[in-house]
Amino acid sequence: MNLDRFSSSFDQNRDRIVSQWMELLAFPSISTEPAHHRDCLACAEWLVRHLHSIGFDNARLLQTPGKPVVFAERPGRPGKPVVLFYGHYDVQPVDPVSEWRTPPFTPTLLDGRMRARGAQDNKGQHFYALKALETLIRDDRLQATVKIIIEGEEECGSHGISATMTEWRERLQADLLLITDIAMDGPRTPTITMGLRGLIHLTAELSGPLRDLHSGAHGGVAPNPALELPRLLATLHARDGVIAVPGFYDGVQPISPEEKVLALSMPFDPELYRRQTGVPPTGGERGRPVAERLGLRPCIDVNGIHAGFDGPGVKTIIPAKARAKLTARLAAGQDPALCLAALEAHLRQHAPEGLTLTIVEKGVGGPGFRLSPQSEWIARAAATLRGMYNTEPTRRWEGASIPVIAGLARVSGAEPLLVGFGLEEDSIHAPNESFALEQFRNGYLYVASLLAGL
């Protein structure tokens, strides 16, 4: 049985694997901090050398306008699928550094957990895949063609890879886009992510008064940006929570009967949600189950509103301007550029008389996507996970966005498969990030078993 072989292979090589993983974690490859640019390059170069050592003879760096991308390719047997594996070598900043119990770039294996920045996100979750590939290559059990792309700017917007990936179209062609940069619902709940939402953002400002006006001298006469902005924002939704922006829903992929059944079967406890967040799950489009509202439908949110006086006491003014920051999460099928244009047009159409609406900034994070529940890759992943956990994996639609994934899927022509082994307890992006060696081992077993079957 495959799993037993891979398990014993991991256990025999455990010490070596752990020490290599620690070498990778020791690079402070914080992409957003210019002071760490060289550390990012050193980390990328280490990965290139490492890929050479495990059988990817042509591993190299591809240049982008930002950080270089690590790329490698190993041809498989003719007629076998082409797998593109994605990961990122950059990590989040570490402040507040005083809250770390062990230094973030001195990897420490303690009580079965690797403690370091990047231990899970994403060095842990891509290194187990590289180790699985190493095993398959060594045992001559890798028949698929495997391409590897590990970028260095995921934590700060993936700008380099996004700007360059269309030039690499030929090189990136694949059948399966394998992604492990994702969590599971619980330690015994293997989870297949069936889709991600897209993202757009916009900052709107209402202005008009030349300066803050005296509310005694002008109240009831001058239009007030701080009063009018919320009124404008309220036109974005109808009373039943449905988005009222004309054209915004264009292209939204309909929910298939099979998806409806899956969505209704997703476990959701409103009381637990209320305890965890402080609010009941009553936002969004009324009458739709939570799973639909979260992953299958779009939403528009106000992230912040700023206007006027907020100090102690009283200040009698009509503020000169008011500003709101908005984001929208997009469902599969929506065109982000069209959604952004529709949102802007709606705001302009409803802008109050006497004030000026300015779109201060706007942008597209990327489109959303959704996989067919009948996907062959999902069936294979589900079978692999059933073998490991003796239970049916949960399917869920992720409400968040990983814009680079949708872009890579489009450019490579590959179908994304999102299964990872992260857990809430890993504290990614926070002080004391860690990753259980057990979860690292599970990730290794999953990738090795999945790819051995291709």
CB 304 within 8 A of CB 320: no
Provide the residue count of the chain. Answer: 454
Distance of CA 156 to the CA centre of its chain: 11
Rounded least distance, CB 398 to Zn ion, Å: 14
In the complex with Zn ion, which residue's Cβ is closer, 39 or 121?
Answer: 121
For residue 167, give both structure tokens: 């030039």
Rounded least distance, CB 274 to Zn ion, Å: 27
Rounded least distance, CB 33 to Zn ion, Å: 15
65 to each of 109, 143, 152, how far by Cα in Å? 36, 34, 12
Rounded least distance, CB 122 to Zn ion, Å: 6
Distance of CA 233 to the CA centre of its chain: 27
The terminus-to-terminus CA distance of the chain in angstroms comes to 16
15's enclosing H/E stretch is helix 2-25
Rounded least distance, CB 30 to Zn ion, Å: 12
Rounded least distance, CB 333 to Zn ion, Å: 26
Q: Is residue 398 involved in binding Zn ion (CB under 5 A)?
A: no
Rounded least distance, CB 121 to Zn ion, Å: 4
In the stretch 81-120, what mask flags binding to Zn ion with x, by CB under 5 A? ----------------------------------------
The label of the residue with tokens 């996970």 reads 385
Count the residues of the shown chain that bind Zn ion, applying the rule CB under 5 A. 1
In the complex with Zn ion, which residue's Cβ is closer, 333 or 407?
Answer: 407
Please identify, among the stretches 46-54, 121-129, 246-254, 326-334, the one whose residues bind Zn ion according to the rule CB under 5 A.
121-129
The one-letter code for the residue type at 452 is A
Q: How far apart are CA 336 and CA 323, in angstroms?
A: 22
In the complex with Zn ion, which residue's Cβ is closer, 158 or 384?
Answer: 158
In the complex with Zn ion, which residue's Cβ is closer, 121 or 398?
Answer: 121
Q: Which residue is nearest to Zn ion (CB)?
A: 121
In the complex with Zn ion, which residue's Cβ is closer, 383 or 400?
Answer: 400
Q: Report H helices in 257-375.
A: 257-265, 270-277, 290-291, 336-349
Q: Is residue 153 involved in binding Zn ion (CB under 5 A)?
A: no
Distance of CA 348 to the CA centre of its chain: 31
Q: Is residue 121 involved in binding Zn ion (CB under 5 A)?
A: yes
CB 107 within 8 A of CB 114: yes
In the complex with Zn ion, which residue's Cβ is closer, 27 or 248?
Answer: 27
Binding site for Zn ion (CB under 5 A): 121
